[in-house]
Amino acid sequence: MCEANAYLITDGGETLVMEAVDEVSPEKDGLKLVNIFGEQKFLRAAVHSLSLVDHKVFLRELAP
């Protein structure tokens, strides 16, 4: 499986926002995440970095 978990970077560290992410799509004001179960989530965030070996997507919140 090639899915990744998505984490939001905060001052306190990393917070898991979605497991088994299959798709990350840019939207007007952020990102749409879709996992392998079809669950969707919209975040006002941008991709900070990827760890492909660890299957992790790191996101940072966008300023309001």
pLDDT tens track for 3-35: 899 999 988 899 999 999 999 999 999 999 999
User: Torsions phi, psi of 46, nearest 5?
Assistant: -130, 160
User: pLDDT band at 2, cuts 50/70/90?
Assistant: confident
- Provide the Cα torsion 43, 47, 53, 54; round to 10°: -40
